Structure 1
Amino acid sequence: MTLDTVREDKAIENLTHRLNDTFADIRTPEDIETAVAAARRQFEGDRVRDYVPILVERMARQELTPQPEPAAAGGPPTPTVTAEPASWRQRIPIALPAAVAGVLVLATVATVLVVRNGSDVQAQTGLITVSGVIGSEKRAFFEDPDVKAALAKHGFEVKVDTAGSREIATSVDLSKYDFAFPSSTVAAERILQPTPGRPAVSGKKYAVFSSPMAIATYQPIVDLLSATGIARKVDGTWYFDVRKYVDLAKAGWRWTNIRGNTTYPVNKKILVTTTDPRTSNSAAMFLAIVSYVANHNNVVQSAADEKKVLPLVAPLFVNQGYTDSSSEGPFDDYLSLGMGKSPMVNIYEAQFVDAAVHHKLKPGMVLMYPSPTVQSKHTLVSLNANGEKLGELLSTDTDLQELAARHGFRTADESQFANVVSQGRFPVSTDVIDVADTPTYDTLERLLEGVSKSYR
C-alpha cells in the first residue's frame, strides 16, 4: 500500500464520518458508504490524488442532499435522496416522516440508556460523569491516568469526544455534552454565537491553558531553510521567518529551487502543512499569522485589509490539496511517516513538548517558532452546572495545572512549564516574545470564509 493510498484512505474515512453526522436523520450508514464508494470510483486510475477526497465529499454531499421532484397535478414537490449519483442509480423517493420517526425512537432509547448508565456509574463509583467535546490535541491529557485520578479526587469522571475546534464551534451537536473545549478564544466565542440550525449557547468561558503555534520539522529541512534565510537559530531555538515564507510561496518556489538542495530534492511547493481552516483552529491560527504578515505586520481590521491579504494567503492552504480536519492527524503523521510526506507541519507547541515528555520524538526532529507566532488560548465553555464546576477546577487546581504542563501546555503559573522544559532539556523556548495579535472574531470569520470560497 503506497503512502498516498494510506493518506487517502484515512481522508475517506474522515469524510464518511462527517457525512454520517450530517445525513443521520435521512440516510443509513450503508447508503452513505455506497455514495462515497460510487463517487470515489470515478477517480480510479487518476495519478494525481491530492484533491480526490475533497471532490468525493463534494459529489457525495450533492447526491445525498434531498432534491425536489416535479410536483404532480399541482401538488408540492416530493423530496428525494439518492445513495449514488443519478448517473449510477435512479433517484429513490424516501418517506421522510417515517425515517425521522424512527430516528426519534432510537434517540429516545439511547437517551434512556445514557441516563440509566450514567446513574449506574455514579452509584457504583460515587463519581459524577461529565462529558465534553474537545480539540484532539487535548486527548492525551484527558486520557492520562494521573489526570483521571486527580479528577476523581474531586468527584469527577470525564468522558470526551474529539473534533476539530471549528467543527465544535459550528456543527457539533452540543446538546449531549456538559462542556466544549476548543483550542482558542475565537472558537469559544463562535460557540456562544447562534448558527444555522443551532441557537446561541449560554455558558461561561474558562481560559484553562495556552500554547503558541509552532512548526514541527526535521534537521535536514532546517539546514535547507537556513540557507534561504527562512530559518535562523537564536540561543538554541529555531525561528521561521514568515515574511520570507510568504514571499517564496507567492513566487511559487519549490524545494528544487533551493540551490544545492541534495537532502530534499522534491519538486513540491514549499508549504507548511496545516489542517483544514474550515474545521480546525490550528489552521485558523496559522491564517491569523500569515494574514498579519501579509498586511505588513498589522492586524487585519478592515474590508480593504481583507481584500488585500486574501489573494496572498488563500493559496497557502488551497495548494496543499487534502488536509486533515483536526490537529491530531498531521502530527501523528509527522511522528510516524518522516519528512517525505510533510517536511513542515503547523502544530501547537504543546503537541511537540508532550511527545518529547513521553519519548515519542525521533532523532533529527526539530521545533521551529513562526516569527511572528500567535498564542492559542485553549478555552473551555461550560454548557451546564457540571461544566462550570469542571472549568473552575481545571483553571485553579494546582495538581491538574501541573499535569497540563507535563502535556506541554502553558498555565497561569509560568514556572510549571519552565520546569518541564528544564528537566527534559527540550529545545523549546520558555519565553516566546515575537507574538502577533489575532484579528477580531468577526474579521477572522470573514477571512476564513474567503479562504473557504477559494476551495470551491
Structure 2
Amino acid sequence: MLLAAVVVVVAAAVVITTRGGNSHPPTVASKETSPGLVRKETAPSPAATETSPPLATVRGVIGSEKKAFFEDPKVIEAFADEGMRVEVDPAGSRQIATSIDLKRYDFAFPSSAPAADRIQRQSKVSAKYTPFSSPMAIATFLPIAKLLDRAGVVKKAGSGKKPGVRTFDFARYLDLVARGVQWDQLDKNTAYRVRKNILVSTTDPRSSNSAAMYLAVASYVANGHAIVQGTAAEENVLPTVSQLFLGQGYTDNTSEGPFEEYLSVGMGPTPLVWIYEAQFLEAVARGRTKPGMVLMYPSPTVLSKHTLVPLNADGDRVGRLLSTDPELQRLAAEHGFRSGDAARFAKVAADHDVPVPPDLIDVVDTPSYDTLERLLGKVAKSYR
C-alpha cells in the first residue's frame, strides 16, 4: 500500500531589510488604487495558505538616520500586521533627491522638506507625508562643553546636579571660526589642547541633508539673522559658510558616518558633531553612549522634517501608516523622533535622562530650495 504524500506548508517570512538589490516581486493588479498612484501586490504563491497570506513587498529609499527604525523588529511586526514587508536602502537625502534612480522604489523618505519638494516635482507627485521630525543638534563631550562655556559659546539652562539643556551660540561660534581660533588657544584649556581649528564636524554638503541644514543655519546667522534671499546675499555669506566645510577635510556622505565615529572613537577626532537629535536619543536608549557624552542645541537651530514621498499606492500606504498608526508613532518616539504627540516624546527623553527642550522656540526656516541648491553648488565648487 502506497504511503500518502507529505504536504509541506511553507509560511511566509517577515522581515524588513536594508539591501542594495533592485528586484521586485511578481505583482498583480489591485482594485484599490489612489488617484495618480498605481498599487502593486505580491502575487499569491502556490505554497501560500489561506491562514498565511503572502506579504506585499514595498521598497523605499530613506535617509540613513532612519535605518535603525525600519530595522526594529517591532516596526517589522507592525508593518507585517498590515500585510507588508518593507525593504529600505539608506542614502544621503540630497543623493535621494538628485542622483538616485527612484524608479526602483515605491517611496522616497529623505530627511528634509526641500529634498522632498524636489522629488515631488521630478516625479510629478502631489502627495507627501511628514510623520515625524527632528531638530538638528550637536553631540559633544562634557569637557568640551565646559571649555566652550568658558569661551561664551555654550550655555546650560538650570543649575545644580541635574543636567539642563545646553545651547550652542552659533553667532559666537562663527566669530571664533572667522578669527581662526584653535582649541589650544582657548583660555584655561587643559582638557583638549589640540592645535587645530574649532569646527563642528558635518557630513558632505554635496550629498547629505544634515550638512545642508548646517549651511541653512550658518547662512542665516552670517546674513545678519535673516534668511538668505537673492544673489547679493548668497555671495555675501559664501566665504563664511565655505570655510565651515573646507576646514574639515574628509566628510561622510551620510549622517551615520560622523556619529558612529563620535560613538566609537571619542573626542580626539570629533569633539563636536552635527547630528539629528533623534540619533543621540536612540543611541542612549540602546546603551551605545558613554559617560560624558552630552547633547547641545544650536541657537538658532533648524527643524528637519522627515518627509515621505509616495511613488505609487503601496508607498502611499506606508506614508499613511507611519503618520496615523498609534504603534508606529509610539515606536518612532522610542527612536527619538518627534511626532504630533509631544508628551510621548518627552517621556522617552525623561526615561533616558536626556535633557531636551520641550518646545522648540529658536528655530529658523531654511532658504528656498533653489537658494539652498545654489549655495550648496557654490560650496561644492570651493572643494575643487
Same topology, TM > 0.5: yes
Indicate conservation of the 8 Å contact 1:214/1:348, yes or no.
yes
Structure 1 position 422, deviation (Å): 2.1
Give the match's secondary structure for 1:430.
Answer: coil
Match of 2:133 in 1: 210
Where structure 1 has 5 or more consecutive residues not aligned to the other structure, the ranges are 1-20, 22-106, 195-199
Does 1:223 find its partner at 2:223?
Answer: no
Match of 1:54 in 2: none
* CA distance in structure 2 between the partners assigned to 1:331 and 1:144 by the alignment: 19
Match of 1:333 in 2: 261
Structure 1 position 415, deviation (Å): 1.4
Match of 2:285 in 1: 357
* CA distance in structure 2 between the partners assigned to 1:148 and 1:301 by the alignment: 43
* CA distance in structure 2 between the partners assigned to 1:118 and 1:386 by the alignment: 11
* CA distance in structure 2 between the partners assigned to 1:414 and 1:150 by the alignment: 22
* CA distance in structure 2 between the partners assigned to 1:114 and 1:269 by the alignment: 52
Does 1:419 find its partner at 2:330?
Answer: no
Structure 1 position 154, deviation (Å): 1.2
Match of 1:268 in 2: 196
Where structure 2 has 5 or more consecutive residues not aligned to the other structure, the ranges are 1-19, 28-40, 159-163
Taking every aligned residue pair, what percent have the same amino acid on both sides? 57
1:25-72 superposed Cα distances (whole Å, 9 cap, x missing partner): xxxxxxxxxxxxxxxxxxxxxxxxxxxxxxxxxxxxxxxxxxxxxxxx
Give the match's secondary structure for 1:359.
Answer: coil
Match of 2:26 in 1: 115
Match of 2:86 in 1: 158
Give the match's secondary structure for 2:364.
Answer: coil
* CA distance in structure 2 between the partners assigned to 1:114 and 1:261 by the alignment: 59
Does 1:308 find its partner at 2:236?
Answer: yes
* CA distance in structure 2 between the partners assigned to 1:418 and 1:241 by the alignment: 24
Structure 1 position 280, deviation (Å): 0.3
Aligned residue among 364, 370, 374 for 1:442:
370
Structure 1 position 315, deviation (Å): 0.8
Give the 3 Å change call, closer, same or farther, for CA 201–332 of structure 1 in structure 2.
Answer: farther
For normalisation by structure 1, the TM-score amounts to 0.72
* CA distance in structure 2 between the partners assigned to 1:125 and 1:240 by the alignment: 52
Match of 1:289 in 2: 217
Structure 1 position 430, deviation (Å): 2.1
Match of 1:147 in 2: 75
Structure 1 position 454, deviation (Å): 0.9
* CA distance in structure 1 between the partners assigned to 2:184 and 2:367 by the alignment: 35
**Structure 1 residues 390-401: aligned runs within 5 Å:** 390-401=318-329
Indicate conservation of the 8 Å contact 1:201/1:383, yes or no.
no
Indicate conservation of the 8 Å contact 2:63/2:110, yes or no.
yes
1:229-253 superposed Cα distances (whole Å, 9 cap, x missing partner): 0111013111100001111101111
Match of 1:16 in 2: none
Give the match's secondary structure for 2:240.
Answer: helix
Structure 1 position 417, deviation (Å): 0.4
Give the match's secondary structure for 1:192.
Answer: helix
Match of 2:16 in 1: none
Higher relative contact order (CA 8 A, sep 6+): 2
Give the match's secondary structure for 2:301.
Answer: coil
1:390-443 superposed Cα distances (whole Å, 9 cap, x missing partner): 101101111100100000000011111012112222222222211111111111
